[in-house]
Amino acid sequence: MLLVWPFGEISYADDYAYSHVALRLVQTGHFLYNGWEFAMLLSHSWWGALFIRLFGFSFTCLRLSTIPFALGSVGLCYSLVRRAGLNPSSAFLMTLTLGLSPLFVPLSITYMTDIPCLFFVLASLYSLSRAGEAGGSSRGYMWIAVGAALGFVGGTGRQVVWLVPVVVLPYLAWCRRENRWFRISAEVAWVAVLAGVNYTSAWFRHQPYSSMTTSVFNEVVMAIKKPKATVDISARLVLMLMLVILPTAVPLLYRSLGDTWRGPRGRKILVGTLFVLVLAAIAIHPSLASIPWVSSTLNWEGINGSAPLPGRPIVLIRPIRAVVAITVYFAGCILAGEVWNIRKLARRIGNFLYKPPETNFTLAAMSLFSAVYFALLVVRAAEIDIFDRYLLPLMPWAAAVLLLWSGIDNQDSERLKRRVMPTAWTVLMVLTSYAVLSTQDYWSLARARVAATKRLEAAGVPRTAIDAGMEYNGWSQLLLTGQINNRWVSNPPGAYRPGLGITPDVKPVYRLEYGPTSDSTPTEFGEVPYFSLLPPFHKQVSIDRIVVR
């Protein structure tokens, strides 16, 4: 926290819109959406409103309100993967892979919904897993109620959390169907959650300026009609997930490489052919040797790319991007050798999911949720943008599977892990270093942007004449009109004004950028320097006038 220093009166990405809902809730006592919210934000806004009541409104206050959810997510992750079968050292590695991830660290100090969503997903999964393990005891019934309640409350903040009780409760009822009252309790809880989901969803659909996409069924149809795009987004999501959990893949990579080397000729040919195809594809299309495959938090220029500041210097230079991308491609090729045992693996997975042991219901529940959630991401990509931060709920399951897989049918698994753990910790240190340094870079830039806008405002320049990035512009629009111009808003009719952008009332005369461009010129307001831990270390925000040609 001291190194990153996430302080500065400016929002992060979309959370300016969420902050506005929480602020209006305090001011009016009502939920007043502003056109930018796909998430329902009920529990999220009440939590933010509590902090506003206690400490007054500020973006910093709302950011700090997320820290309890961040800490809770880390603790729940450790508990969950321990119950899924990981030993303490592997669970510790997995937990740090999540908690120090380049996706988690920046979001843990924002008012975005991603970290609270992750907390409620893990909390609901943990509770329902405890119910599955406790069976028909009184504790089992208690855990059903807690898991269903946490899943429902979390879903009122961000609807995807509802997947946990909606998917896991009927599975729990099926797996423990021999206990009649326990099964009935799980079914009753499922019906109650569905009723609550239906009621709150209907309420949300009727709220003015709530953003609504088409139904999931229509998105499935769209995804089926575009198979190439569906395969493409699936592959990119898998590659991005592999990158962020790479430390936990190291033991399985070592084992799989050894099994391929000592294994049948066909397996060697399969892995070797994949290596050659990857190298050929990169030779033909060099752009493939680059990251990220799914962007938003991770970008060439740092967190959120050039959105905070046009012309922002690239920190993930081409050689770095190429090395990371090729490493992940080769890791995928090595793991593809496990396909050689696909029949055995498929049979084992099928038997496990059909009737998971009472002591390991956790992994089965995590697997079921993750499969449905990944499918939802793929079909939703047919209509809306999918961002890298959406992978956070998948990380605990994917990492746990890789670590458990490395020990299956391997009598020397502990010796193998001891031998390869230094490599895993080294990879984790690299990812952690980038997470912390890039977060510091972002907030140092944010404070410089605040200083630049204050310089303009002190000279009498109105907010609506300043282009200081999406967050500042969005807040200016909300302060002026209370609504964002979003194409997904259909209530009230005519609310969306096509062709005007999301902030039509912001008509910039001045723009913050890294340096003057072809359509801007330097001004008497000069530049605001700032220091970053990422090269180039000494950077600046240039206050330029937009030239009308």
Q: Which helix (H) or strand (E) holds 526?
A: strand 520-531
Q: Residue 537: pLDDT above 80?
A: yes
Q: Which of 323, 300, 322 is nearest to 312 (CA)?
A: 300
Could you tell me the pLDDT band of residue 405, with boundaries at 50, 70 and 90?
Answer: confident
User: What is the pTM for the complete model shown?
Assistant: 0.95
Report the pLDDT value the prediction gives residue 212, as an integer from 0 to 100: 78
pLDDT of the residue at 118? 97
In this predicted structure, the answer to whether residue 58 has a pLDDT above a threshold of 70 is: yes
Q: Is the pLDDT of residue 241 over 90?
A: yes
Q: What are the tens digits of pLDDT across the range 190-228?
A: 999 999 999 999 999 999 998 877 778 888 888 888 899
Left, alpha or beta for 417 (phi > 0: left; psi -120 to 50: alpha)? alpha
**Which of 430, 234, 438 shows the shortest CA–CA distance to 324?**
430
| Residue 519 buriedness (CB in 10 A; 0-12 / 13-18 / 19+) | exposed
Q: Dump pLDDT digits (tens) for 331-361.
A: 999 999 888 777 777 777 777 777 777 667 8
Per-residue confidence (pLDDT) for residue 297, from 0 to 100: 86
Q: Is the pLDDT of residue 549 over 60?
A: no
The answer on pLDDT for 246 being more than 80 is yes
- Tell me how far apart the alpha carbons of residues 370 and 81 are, in angstroms, rounded to a whole number: 14
Q: Taking all residues of the chain, what is their mean pLDDT, rounded to a whole number?
A: 91
Q: Select the highest-mean-pLDDT range: 124-138, 152-166, 307-321, 329-343.
A: 152-166
